[in-house]
Amino acid sequence: MRQRIACGLIVGALSVISVLVALLLSDAMAPGRVPPMLAFWGACGAGTLLISGLAMLEQRGAQALPQPFRG
């Protein structure tokens, strides 16, 4: 279940980044449609989603790895 949430966060982040790139590319043709601060905060939010998703996957992976035998 946790892995699905992590993958959802990562997919959401990549979707936000794709939408931002599309908006900024279309804004190059008609400047002024996308406020720069909106793009900045959108990128910050996407980065947060991406880092959260990757951290959840990393935490999941650390629990699944076998521990070496010491003895």
Q: Determine, yes or no, domain membership for 35.
A: yes
What pLDDT is recorded for position 64?
Answer: 58
Whether this model's pTM surpasses 0.85: no
Q: Determine, yes or no, domain membership for 16.
A: yes
d(CA 70, CA 10): 36
d(CA 42, CA 55): 20
pLDDT band at 43 (very low <50, low <70, confident <90, very high): very high
44: nearest Cα among 9, 13, 5, 21: 13
- Give Cβ neighbours of residue 60 (< 8 Å, ≥ 6 apart): 2, 3, 6
Q: Determine, yes or no, domain membership for 10.
A: yes
Domain that holds residue 27: 2-63
Q: Determine, yes or no, domain membership for 29.
A: yes
The total of structural domains in the chain comes to 1
65 secondary structure, DSSP code: S
Q: Would you say residue 32 has pLDDT above 90?
A: no
